[in-house]
Structure 1
């Protein structure tokens, strides 16, 4: 059980680009043994990605070799303005559907402590 928890906790909760507007995905990462399952949700967002699936594929290729499972919970966009300390979460993924932006904001708040972080269901 400790080994599973260690692998799961080694996965960073938030990894997004430092500036700009980009696609993001919300991913459930889980570890299980025959008796128990442990999981957490992470957010990944990058401007290099043409599609939300590109982000999910890159993340799962790094995480699954650790013996963990990945499931995409949806996506959207993030507008990151570090000069104004603002993050805005909005939109959806054509392939994965809309992520729960409230969960995304809650995760972002753990890393970007002094930021104004908001979300909306509008926009693409």
Structure 2
């Protein structure tokens, strides 16, 4: 009996698979949730979260993500954003707020993505849902 394995030979797809799902800093952050995908193959995608302290605008966070993805020959689509407070010592994250220009983030989806990640599984994560329909 012969066994075969399918390997991913497409470099862009490999880049997508290994692209970091979550990168968040400490303290009060501006955060975005975005889709990263292989150009012209949006079904080949993953949802990522980026949170950066000490930036003036959410566009700064998105620009950083675009540069990171572009270096891997990947494309991005911002799905929205908000604010986040991350306290690693207390294992606590609070997700709240919304953006006017980049759109509202689904904070409940953001919370579920964080909870599913082993690094944040033991965290207490609060996500504000009030005002999300504006």
Q: TM-score range by the shorter chain?
A: 0.7 to 0.9
Q: 1:25 aligns to what?
A: 32
CA contact (8 A) 2:108 2:128 kept: no
Measured in 2, the distance between the counterparts of 1:117 and 1:5 equals 31
Cα RMSD (Å): 2.0
Q: Highest CA radius of gyration, 1 or 2? A: 2
Measured in 2, the distance between the counterparts of 1:119 and 1:102 equals 6
Structure 1 residue ranges (4+ consecutive) displaced by more than 6 angstroms after TM superposition? none
Task: Flag structure 1 segments of 5+ consecutive residues without an equivalent.
Answer: none
Q: 2:14 aligns to what?
A: 6
Could you say which structure has the greater relative contact order, defined with CA pairs below 8 angstroms and 6 or more residues apart? 1
Pairing 1:102–2:102 present: no
Measured in 2, the distance between the counterparts of 1:9 and 1:103 equals 20
Measured in 1, the distance between the counterparts of 2:20 and 2:101 equals 24
Return the offset for 1:26.
0.6
Match of 2:125 among 91, 99, 117: 117
Q: 1:16 aligns to what?
A: 24
Task: Flag structure 2 segments of 5+ consecutive residues without an equivalent.
Answer: 1-6
Measured in 1, the distance between the counterparts of 2:40 and 2:61 equals 27
CA-to-aligned-CA distance 1:32-77 (integer Å, 9 cap, x gap): 567x830010000011211000000011011123221100000001
Pairing 1:85–2:91 present: yes
